[in-house]
Copies of this chain bind each other. A is one copy, B any other.
């Protein structure tokens, strides 16, 4: 069999363009006995932890939301598998950023009994595919990535919606999501005080200890969520199914990142608060179905038309962000596949540049 190299190179695509769209070292090699040797880059959670900074994640998520605002993002509805016998499910999140030519699929489970057997509740894998050829480029452990891109989303939204001089952050819920939310905000605002509320003061203490690694400031711990509302930016990260934050607790001018609600029936904020505030969502379809607004909409307290904007519409300049120092704003984050693909592609590019990861033979 003659070498295939001359024939291939005579074609309109150059190999490097076809085969590694995000740049960096090519992951494809030629061999002349069996056609093309394809490689997939395997990146473990540890690799991702060592490669991904919150600034990378913020930059990637900002681009993803911008593209979404430009109407250049594909995110078909996520299919779920339900493991009824095990209190678990598996969600599949394909996404394509057309303008950036980045595509992939995240596969993520939620198994609430896992901690009881020493496993994480949520484990995620992200597969990145080349839009040009469909070939898988990289497979990444995506549990840390998921937390980081969610923290980045909160930061990107607060940058447009919170008062720029915001100094006090209130946290309702002190779990894993709380940490990356605070990490993201710490890159945008000059934070002087963090008020952490959790039903478990021990959890609040752990959050403080961990957050001091990246944010030295005044910390106030409480088990009373009302106290946390005495802030400029409020972050809710609980799995609540009935409101944990009352409308009357919220001061004029507050911005709220509502992170916890990610399924039908979940709600952290009193419904009337979503009626009073300017509500911005990440994606209209996902938010109406499973975001913070899903309960107020199903109750008839607000209508989908009452939602002010998708964050991408603000990023592209189609709609302004905060309009006055007095208004209350809410960012309803459900978590989008395009955030995963954009963030994962940034990690993949960095890994190929630095020679990290394990290069696996695919074909």
Contact = CB atoms under 8 A, between A and B. Distances in A.
Given A118-B35, A119-B36, A136-B123, A107 B129 contact: yes
A44 B361 contact: yes
Interface stretch (A78-86, A170-178, A298-306): A78-86
A180 interface: no
A83 B360 CA distance: 25
Interface of A: 4, 7-8, 11, 13, 18, 35-36, 38, 42, 44-46, 74, 76-83, 85-86, 88-90, 92, 94-96, 103, 105, 107, 109-111, 114, 116-120, 122-123, 125, 127, 129, 131-136, 139, 141, 143, 358, 360-363
A42 to B, nearest CB: 6
Contacts of A105: 90, 92, 105, 107
Given A45-B362, A79-B94, A94-B90, A133 B118 contact: no
A70 to B, nearest CB: 16
A224 to B, nearest CB: 32
A4 B123 contact: no
Contact of A118 (B8, B83, B122, B362): B8
Contacts of A18: 117
Contact of A127 (B4, B38, B119, B125): B125
A44 to B, nearest CB: 5
Given A78-B79, A79-B79, A362-B141, A135 B119 contact: yes
30 contacts: A8-B118, A35-B118, A36-B118, A38-B119, A44-B361, A44-B362, A44-B363, A45-B363, A46-B361, A76-B80, A80-B94, A82-B96, A86-B132, A88-B131, A88-B133, A90-B96, A90-B103, A92-B94, A92-B105, A107-B136, A109-B129, A109-B133, A109-B134, A111-B134, A122-B134, A123-B133, A125-B136, A127-B127, A139-B139, A143-B363
